[in-house]
Structure 1
Amino acid sequence: MKIYIDGASRGNPGRAGIGVVLCNDAGEPVKEIGEPIGETTNNVAEYRALIRGLEEARALGADTVEVYTDSELLARQINGLYGVHSPHLQPLYRRARALLRLFKSASVRHIPRSQNQIADKLAKAAAEAAR
């Protein structure tokens, strides 16, 4: 399953939302999620989107996942290229890593924002709706 994720924050911190698009192996969307998550930072929103996407993939029965994000920080942290120094990100990082281990195969890749437009749109709309 392919998962496109994005987090948005209006201000940093500010009203935030997540966007998740889950696609079958043919690349066709099977579920789109846009959820407001209250007030937080953009990096927390990115991690919350990752966690929500992985949880939903498990619920849909996926055993392999390819996650695509336009957050270079998240991709590099999850792949062990950057450390996670922010105390508020560490529990989210640990949760995401634990979820990734539940799949037979899992990857997280950075992509340009132009290739992540649907998740971006969902996250921005959810951030606008956040209170």
Structure 2
Amino acid sequence: MPRFHTVLAYADGAARGNPGRSGCGALLVDPSTGNILASDSRYVDDYATNNVAEYHGLILALELAHRHQVAHVNVYMDSQLVVQQMLGNFKVKSANLRELYQHCIELCKGLRVTMTHVPREENRAADQLANRAIDQHPYY
């Protein structure tokens, strides 16, 4: 029995320099109350593109959904590329994104996932988490 039937997931990635230092963030929100159920952020790499960081944000959101035993997750991202690739509308041409895409497909198993593109303004909380991951990672 799932702990949560349906949650909203907001995911984002950020790269400073593109490619450059990058991080990702994700949060799960209860759709009935608007309360944040879980959030996490992660440093991605010293030299990654924004698209790589965005995929890592989606991975983080899907991992959170599994960890919190969610049945159905509505994912919201401001990356048109990632959303359209996950929906099968855009091909995954880049070799470095193909592996991340496949990982996301695997993580979707056992979940009912919907993907929606949203304007950047509607994804501020996940963006803040992604940028915090970069800020908190030592830079040499």
Q: TM-score over 0.5 for the alignment?
A: yes
Structure 1 residue aligned with 2:54, among 46, 51, 65? 46
Aligned length: 130
2:29 aligned with 1:23: yes
User: Per-residue deviation at 1:129?
Assistant: 2.9
TM-score (norm 1): 0.93
Supply the distance in 2 between the matched residues of 1:32 and 1:115 (Cα, whole angstroms).
16
Per-residue CA deviations over 1:87-129 (Å, capped at 9, x if unaligned) read: 00001101101211321x2111100011111101111121233
Post-superposition Cα deviations, 1:28-76, rounded to whole Å, max 9, x if no partner, equal 2111212212221110111011011101111101011000000001100
Bigger relative contact order, structure 1 or 2 (CA pairs below 8 A, ≥6 apart): 1
Where do 4+ consecutive residues of structure 1 move more than 3 Å? none
Instruction: Answer yes or no: is the 8 Å Cα contact 1:16–1:128 preserved in 2.
Output: no
Partner of 2:134: 127
> Where in structure 2 are the equivalents of 1:71-110 lying within 5 Å?
71-103=79-111, 105-110=112-117
- Aligned residue in 1 for 2:4: none
RMSD: 1.2
Equivalent position SS for 2:64:
helix
Give the alignment's TM-score, normalised by structure 2. 0.88
Alignment partner of 1:35: what SS?
strand
Which residue identity lines up with residue 45 of structure 2 in the other structure?
Answer: G
Give 1:31's aligned amino acid: A
Percentage identity across paired residues of the two chains: 38
Secondary structure at 2:96 match in 1: coil
In structure 2, distance between residues paired with 1:129 and 1:14 = 15
Structure 2: stretches of 5+ with no match in the other structure: 1-6
Q: Indicate the residue corresponding to 2:3 in structure 1.
A: none
Separation in 1, partners of 2:65, 2:110: 11
